[in-house]
A and B are shown apart, each in its own frame.
Chain A
Amino acid sequence: MTTTATLGCRVQADGVSKVVDVTTLLPPISLVASAGSCVVVRGPNGAGKTTLLRIVAGLLAPTTGTVTVDGEPADERRRATRENVAALIGPPAAYRDLTLADHLTLVDATWGHDPGTCADRVAEGLVTFGLGDLAERFPHELSSGQGQLFRLALTWFRPARLLILDEPEQRLDTDRRAMVGHLVRARCEASTTVLMACHDPVLTASVADEVVDVGGPA
């Protein structure tokens, strides 16, 4: 599986909150994720985990506080944020007329990788997530678990120094969850910083360097 060899990002959130009208989506919270570490965010449903991840990914502006990635504000409109941050927060918009292999090929090409070896990287990317036999399927032909693996494969496939995952374990069986745990640890060992929300205590224990509770203990 292709991973970046560059140092992961340092993420710092100071007093970040999100309020819409009178509804508090995320109470103020602070966290620091050092380069190459895995920080797991826990909390009950509705605590604001996804909101926090969206803010760190630069997809949402905080109401209070700041989030920086390597000292720069997290804002997906900035080129540096888009280059450094890969995120799986909700299903990405897939092309209904492309197969799984085509999707990975497209992502690979847009990052300017060598066309001559693209097919090998695509095959490896699918095999890593157990999707090698499904390369010619369209996304709408996958089961819910296979769909989640495909979304993970897409997110993993693009270069990133910060990987943000919102409940990557959802819809996966025990073996696949363990596989995701191994892959997360491998990314951290390759210096990628990982920030993820997770409801699975086993997976959390296997990957977390630090656990942050949002909205009280999980």
Chain B
Amino acid sequence: MTASEQRSEDRARLADVTHVLHGPDGSGAVRQVLYAVYVLAILALTYGFTVSRALFITSDPAWVRDRLLSPATGCLALLLAAALAVVVHGAGRRRGPVVPPLPWVDHVVTGPLDRSATLREWWLVSATLLVAGGTVGAGVVGGGLWASGSAGPTALVVALVAGPALGVVLAAAWLIGQVGAGERSEAARAPGESDPRGRTLLAPPATLLRSLGLPELRAQSVRSTRLGGAVLAGDLRAARLETATPVRRGRTLRLRSRGRLATVVARDLLGLRRQPGLLLSGALLTVPGAAGVAWSLSDPDVPVALAVVSLMATYLGAGVWAEGLRLLGDTLGTPALSGLGLGTEAGVHTVLPGALLVGVSVPVALGVRALVPATAVAVGALVLWVLGLAVVVLAAQWVAAFRGRPPLLAFLPEVGPTAMTFWFARPLVLCALTGALLTSRAAELGVSATSWVGLGVTAAGAGLWAWRTLRAAADEHRV
């Protein structure tokens, strides 16, 4: 049988399988994705474009044109795209773009049919979503820039080329990451089998799909199902465990007893030494976040949106460093092993992320201030402001770690996804909005006494909110 005849027979047999499972109309997955893209495009045109345009207008088009649309910003965007590709590649090792349901993997993919044919549908769904998402997202930004007068029509053209291109690159990186998860060592490969590490972005998707091994497909399918269940149930511990890569590094490093409190701090430090990726990714979020906050405080012309995004990045970066705090939150409701009280232990688990946050934010903020010409903000005021915001960010980490179970609303079909999203994002949104508004207002007023009172009240309120959340979570399970 020739290769062409083999492909024809595979297609016919796969069509039979699809007919048995889904009837004459097939699974309809690709059609559903195309419909989702259609809805996404309409929403982007009606709401996304309007919001984007309004955002750039309120941010002062001249400021956006002079400060944001520069070669340096273009280089930064390329760096961010490259970083995103690296992140997506890593995500592919845990949950790639090709994740069929387990029965399909066990009963169809295991058969003699060409594996690229049996997996093509899932690859097309993921790739289409990424390319369409990139196109729509970039189109919204480019269109907003053009319509607000911040840039010419070239911005829209560039965005409509760059968006789908980014989607293609991300889809390829995601798939290559998934293939890499199942790579076997040289010793384990069959004689004559090529080295899978040689695969590049130029390899055709069909070749990569044929490289996907059954064990990894099964593992990712099971993981995907568990992850979906964890997200729907608001079980953040399970979701984290499913997405996290198992730790195997630094096995010979030992935790030494250094007293009741210092050992807990040493535990958190050891966790970061065994997962240096967490240390790095936390810094990659916190450094630009602190820079944005310092820029917002030093220059009253900076739009408040930049301060919001910067505080979001700072919050997320501190969250990456606060794994010990999250793990403590996970233990609520289980019999105590630790000899420390809950509040004490939570406080000690805050030491390391707090020290890292301050240690990174203060030098970055001082560096940014030095670059802003004729700023009215004194060095001491800037440092104190950064410390005050650090308190707000750390309090939000407590709220995130001890938020407990989602509200009953999150399980109602009508409002469930919205309620679950709000429940999950509440500490992030409140931290970013209050911090950004305070910072922008302080920049306008020149960091006056009113600003300090606002920051002090906010920090105290955030601390009280964190403490009450901790106590409520400690009592919640005992019903």
Contact = CB atoms under 8 A, between A and B. Distances in A.
Contacts of A141: 246, 248
B257 A60 contact: no
Contact of A93 (B247, B260, B331, B345): B331
B327 interface: yes
Interface stretch (A6-14, A71-79, A202-210): A71-79
A136 interface: yes
B336 A82 contact: yes
Interface residues of B, number: 41
A58 B474 CA distance: 12
A17 to B, nearest CB: 15
A105 B264 CA distance: 10
A77 B246 contact: no
A65 interface: no
B191 to A, nearest CB: 31
Nearest to A105: B255
A76 B260 CA distance: 21
A89 B335 contact: yes
Contacts of A131: none
A18 to B, nearest CB: 10
Given A60-B478, A108-B257, A109-B259, A96 B335 contact: no
Contacts of A77: 474-475, 478
Contact of A98 (B258, B270, B340): B270
A98 B335 contact: no
A171 B479 CA distance: 30
B237 A93 contact: yes
Contacts of B271: 95, 97-98
A68 B350 CA distance: 35
Given A99-B251, A115-B257, A75 B478 contact: yes
B241 interface: yes
A4 to B, nearest CB: 13
Interface in A78-109: 79, 82-83, 85-90, 92-93, 95-99, 101-102, 105-109
B478 A109 contact: no
B337 A102 contact: no
A96 to B, nearest CB: 6
Interface residues of A, number: 48
B199 interface: no
Given A59-B333, A110-B339, A96 B246 contact: yes
Interface in B305-334: 323, 327, 330-331, 333-334
A113 interface: yes
A164 B335 CA distance: 10
A158 B241 CA distance: 26
A97 B275 contact: yes
B478 A61 contact: yes
Contact of A87 (B241, B247, B258, B335): B335
Interface string A1-38: 00000000000000000000000000000000000000
B333 A95 contact: no
Given A83-B339, A92-B337, A159-B339, 10 more contacts: A59-B335, A88-B335, A93-B237, A93-B330, A101-B254, A105-B255, A107-B337, A109-B258, A140-B247, A158-B337
11 contacts: A59-B477, A59-B478, A92-B334, A97-B274, A105-B263, A109-B264, A110-B340, A112-B339, A115-B258, A115-B263, A138-B247
Interface of B: 237, 241, 244, 246-248, 251-252, 254-260, 263-264, 267, 270-271, 274-275, 323, 327, 330-331, 333-341, 345, 474-475, 477-479
